[in-house]
Amino acid sequence: MDRVGLQAVVLRRPENFAWYSGGADNRVDHASPTGVAEIVVTRTADHVVTDNIEAPRMREEQTPGWDVVAYPWHTGPGDLIRELAGGGAIGGDAPDPSDVEVDVAGLVAPLRYRLDDEAVDRYRAVAADTVAAVDAACATLTPAVTETEAAGVVLGACRSAGLFTPALMVAGAARLPRHRHPIPGGAPLGARAMVVVCAERGGLYANLTRFVHFEPPDAELAAKLEACQGILARLRDAARPGRTLGEVFDDCRRFYADAGHGDGWRHHHQGGLTGYRSREVIAAPGVGVEIAAGQAFAWNPSLPGAKAEETFVLTAAGPEVLCA
């Protein structure tokens, strides 16, 4: 607030609401870029602002102990926010077009990249529940199950664990070599399946890929899977404090070349920072975001028909893999 000369900042985006509140959820419609409640941070206090529809639920379930301030659903929050700001300048992570607010989304986002100890503890639980849900679902699959049916099983297992799945992809044997982002279709899985899940709870994303083989992979596919795992391990080691994502990406190109697939990196992004989004920042040439302890990473090297993915937190002692 000092940098921009603001008296208040309004956090409407779910990722920022979850980060600042320690895991609360302000969403009803998950397709909306903003939630039904917002945190108003002033120089003297924090407030949760929402309408009279959502206020009881926020008080009871999402933000107990916070100052929840309600406005009539038909009026909008503008007057109340201006009152809480004392008439001073206001910034927002998703500025209300009907109000004069300074767009501070780009200033807020880096603040959530480094996770505190409480967030890391929550992350461990989210990741463990994601692994358990996905593995249990994958254990029920058969070659005759269709991609959409498989996605439904995975989705159900995740929801039963209180997890949302904003990204859920399934490819059977026929589509696996053709598409890096296989949105589930109607064909049977056949000889194998790849299941890709970005699961979220409390704002934190656990990202993983599973292969289910109903027939042993041939030598070519086995070699590609091994290459992806090797690149993944080297990316984990390359993400060291003080380096940049761009520097790790430069290493990544070399890792593909060392594995015999010099142009393999060109056909899909390789991942990067994760945390309160499935990918906070994707590594690419020249990306200057500096790596630091407390950040979370999800790298995802891939080759035709093969992929590897994990989520880890970079601690002071080194990488701690949360799910793989």
Residue range 245-270, pLDDT digits in tens: 999 999 999 999 999 999 999 999 99
pLDDT of residue 2: 86
% residues pLDDT > 70 (the chain): 100
Q: What is the CATH number of the domain that holds 59?
A: 3.40.350.10
Token match 């049916």: residue?
A: 149
- Same domain, residue pair 132 and 149: yes
What residue numbers bound the domain in which 51 lies? Answer: 8-112
Which of 52, 53, 24 is CA-nearest to residue 39? 24
pLDDT of residue 315: 97
Provide the whole-model pTM. 0.96
pLDDT of residue 96: 75
**Which of 89, 112, 135 finishes a domain?**
112
- Same domain, residue pair 228 and 124: yes
pLDDT of residue 95: 86
Phi-psi category of 275—alpha, beta or left, where left has phi over 0 and alpha has psi -120 to 50?
A: left
pLDDT of residue 100: 73
pLDDT of residue 13: 98
| Residue 201 is assigned to a structural domain of this protein | yes
Q: Which residues of the chain have pLDDT under 70?
A: 98
pLDDT of residue 189: 98
pLDDT of residue 8: 96
Q: pLDDT for 46-64, tens place per residue? A: 999 999 999 999 999 999 9
Contact between 35 and 63 (Cβ < 8 Å):
no
d(CA 148, CA 162) in angstroms, rounded, equals: 21
| Residue 63 is assigned to a structural domain of this protein | yes
Query: What DSSP line would sit under 66-89, residue for residue?
Result: SEEEEE-TTT-SHHHHHHHTTT--
